[in-house]
Amino acid sequence: MKSTQILSTKLLTPICLVTLICATSAIAAQVAQKPERPFLDTLQELNLSGEQKKQVFQLLRDYRDKYQTDQFRIKLLLVLTPEQAEVLEELKSAPGSRKVPDDMTADLDIVYAKRPGSDPKYLSLDIYRPKKSPGKLPVMVMIHGGGWRIGDKSNLAVGLDKSKYFNRQGFVYISVNYRLTPEVQHPGHIIDVAEAIAWVHDHVGDYGGDPETLFVMGHSAGAHLAALVATDHRRLKKHDKQFSIIDGVVLLDGAGYDIPAKLKIGNSVANAMYLSAFTKDEETQRDASPIHHVANDKRHPPFLIIPIERRADSNKMSTDLKNALIKADTTASIHVAEGKTHGSVNNDIGNAGDKPTAAIMSFLNTIMLK
């Protein structure tokens, strides 16, 4: 197995092991029940390299009927890149339950834009709000990840679970969908995200939200899109909006902030995901890169950037983005999420004692108290 594709088991803390085991349980169950077709479908969705396929099939031969064991699940994920692990998590994560607690109201599947030939579900958003509030509430808009290829606003980690936490903190919480590759490539994703945010600014007042206190957060591919909508002024300008409508941006373990540079440090499997979404044209890649839109005269909103400790590419891209923002006289800080995986840094938001959650709330409160 190639060292660039394998994580040493010494790096896997007990928390990480639990996360890895949970992430593969549904896939492993498919393998055990019907190993030939469902698992091959999953391999195709993960866009594995030839070397990775050989490694996976060797694992299948080694473990045969032991696909449910923790050891098989851990070894399977040791073959994957962080991006593929994210896709695996999304593949096994069905849309979350639509049942909300009695103290919340959910307005689901609101269409914010229409595109001929596109399924309206990819151009819709969900709004979660407390039933009782003293007045207009600040707004958090969440952009899901999934490698620009998969994902859904109703998955628990970006939908109901986070809405419960942010509603308890006194926020209106909104989870948005956008069109996915291969239906669109850049700039299709960001066109949709910008229109969703413009729609929220225009209409959230009807749902108990304060359009003058609006934050944007994203995870992985969603972090890239959150950063891009707050750096490429053309996207909001199309809707007669400026960066000033966004009060702050929270980025959870993104790595696509400088795509040409990311492609130079990535492996062939991870790079294929970027090339699929942003093409092989370097000008298109630069246009899709938040760092190449940062400028002194744009007055970008404040940024909180949260990479996980174990990803060198995410840390480098996060540091480069922070430095570019600071050079452009923009407030930007990094909180490195220690002991987190690519999935858990997102899934754990709202958990008691979670340090990234504390960093996020400190960031939001500092802005709101100004």
Residues 221 and 353 in one domain: yes
Considering only CA atoms, which of 128, 142, 206, 212 is closest in space to residue 170? 128
Whether residue 133 is found in the same domain as residue 225: yes
Same structural domain, 56 and 159:
no
- Give the angle 220-307-21 at the CA atoms, nearest 5°: 70
Are residue 113 and residue 73 in the same domain, yes or no?
no
On whether both 30 and 152 belong to a single domain, the answer is: no
The segments of the chain whose pLDDT lies below 50 read 1-37
- Could you read off the pLDDT of 324-337 as tens digits, one per residue? 999 999 999 999 99
Pair 358, 369: CB distance under 8 Å: no
Measured distance CA(192)–CA(358) in Å, rounded: 30
Three-state SS for 16-31 is HHHHHHHHHHHHHHHH
Q: Give the pLDDT confidence score for residue 336 in this predicted structure.
A: 98
Helix axes 82-92, 268-278, angle to 10 degrees: 70
Number of domains the chain contains = 2
> Does 88 map to a domain?
no
Indicate whether 208 and 144 sit together in one domain. Answer: yes
For residues 66 and 108, state if they share a domain. Answer: no
359 & 229 share domain: yes
- Residue 81, pLDDT score: 74
The verdict on residue 55 lying in a domain is yes
Full domain range(s) for residue 63: 9-80
- Say if 137 falls within a structural domain: yes
Question: Which domain-ending residue is among 45, 80, 115?
Answer: 80
Asked whether residue 4 is domain-assigned, the answer is no
Residue 256 corresponds to which tokens in the numbers above? 């696509």
Both 161 and 274 in a single domain?
yes
Structure confidence at residue 68 (pLDDT): 62
Q: Report if residue 94 sits inside a domain.
A: no
348 and 210 inside one domain: yes
Instruction: Tell which of 65, 80, 95 closes a domain.
Output: 80
Residue 67 lies in a domain: yes
Does residue 95 fall inside a structural domain? no
On whether the CB atoms of residues 345 and 329 are closer than 8 A, the answer is no
| Last residue within a domain, chosen from 80, 96, 117 | 80
If we measure between CA atoms, which residue out of 61, 60, 51, 4 comes closest to residue 27? Answer: 60
Q: Tens of pLDDT along 171-195?
A: 999 999 999 999 999 999 999 999 9
Is 91 contained in some domain?
A: no
Task: CATH number of the domain at 340, please.
Answer: 3.40.50.1820
CB 22 within 8 A of CB 92: no
Residues 248, 264: Cα–Cα separation, whole Å: 30
